[in-house]
Amino acid sequence: MSVNRYDPGYLTSLLKDMQQGDPDAYAGIFAATFPKAYEKAITTLKDKYAAQDAVKAIYVKLFSVGENIIPDGKVFLRQLDNVTNQVVEGMKEYDHVGNEEITDANREMSNEEAGFLLEDIFSTLHMESGELPLDALVSYNDYRKSRTLTQRIFLVVIILLIAALPLYLIPPKVSVSLDSEASEWAPTYTVETQSLFSVDSIIAYIGYDLMPVTQNEDGDYVITPSEAGDMTVEITLTTGRTAETSVTVDKVDVTTPQLVSYYAENGFLYVYATDDESGINYDGIYAVDETGETLYPVSYSADEGMIVFNMLENNTNIYIPDNVGNELQIICSR
């Protein structure tokens, strides 16, 4: 199935409602897109029930981010493709492949089966089901597709006419530069484009994982990678012209400091921790006891990875951050 069958604007409106926790919005996204995920699963795995398990895993992963989901239909469709490939290829690798012959009759999941599957997804995520039945949402989605067909054809004609203009055919120039003021272990990248037309969307990803893209006060697009690796940046202009570039992200610290050991002696609590990446922020270490009082170390040794507290009088949480904000929490009980 082509992504062009799906209306990114409609998906964007549903994604914004998802950010507000509307269960009908989750159901609407599922109704609009599950045929795409199921077709990939059934044609690859050749087993109806394995394909349904794959679809469940796909949407549990997509929906688990909840209010943190990016409210952009194009980004969601890209993420749906990436997660679908990841789940289906993972199941294929572990021999979850049947021998069903794929025909027009079994290529699509029935609305009844999809309804049961959606209920199972809501149950897994401990969410309440929406009030609108899946049949109604599927019917409305089909209605939107048929209603916008004429509009899409007209838009394509206009775009083809404009595409005759040489200027319109010029692709954007794009560059991605590492911000010099960013931390070595928490890098940020600025995306620069050269074009007479406005940017419609910017997508950055490493492997199957999308990287956060934001726009700062100056209007610059900034990427904050959440992992290291070869990062691809794709830019789409309002004209539809696209360009992409790649950059290697060398270091990203997303792990907390690690507890090595601890012991009590002579009225003091000795805690040993280590962090092989950005390092421990010793000035940021503190503890909070069960009364809400904040406590601080009496001393520390960065060379030894040692932090010393006065002996704790009651149950206390100790917090040990690294230099980019990842934080180790240690629960100490009396």
Give the model's confidence band at 160: pLDDT under 50 very low, under 70 low, under 90 confident, else very high: low
pLDDT tens sequence across 195-208: 878 888 899 999 98
Q: Are strands 294-295 and 286-289 parallel, antiparallel or unpaired?
A: antiparallel
Specify whether 45 is located in the same domain as 117: yes
Question: Is residue 154 scored above 60 in pLDDT?
Answer: no
SS (H, E, C) 227-282: CCEEEEEEEEECCCCEEEEEEEECCCCCCCCEEEEEEEECCEEEEEEECCCCCECH
Q: What pLDDT was estimated at residue 165? A: 56
Point out the domain boundary residue: 161, 190, 206.
Answer: 161
Specify whether 61 is located in the same domain as 186: no
Specify whether 28 is located in the same domain as 121: yes
Answer whether residue 166 is part of any domain: no
Is the alpha carbon torsion for 125, 130, 133, 138 positive or negative? negative
Exposed / middle / buried, residue 170 (Cβ in 10 Å: 0-12, 13-18, 19+): middle
Point out the domain boundary residue: 205, 228, 249.
Answer: 249
Give the global pTM.
0.46
Specify whether 12 is located in the same domain as 123: yes
Give the model's confidence band at 9: pLDDT under 50 very low, under 70 low, under 90 confident, else very high: confident
Specify whether 222 is located in the same domain as 272: no
Specify whether 267 is located in the same domain as 234: no
Q: Per-residue pLDDT averaged across 8-14, rounded?
A: 86
Give the model's confidence band at 157: pLDDT under 50 very low, under 70 low, under 90 confident, else very high: low
Domain count for the chain: 3
Specify whether 227 is located in the same domain as 326: no
Domain of residue 83: give its range: 3-161
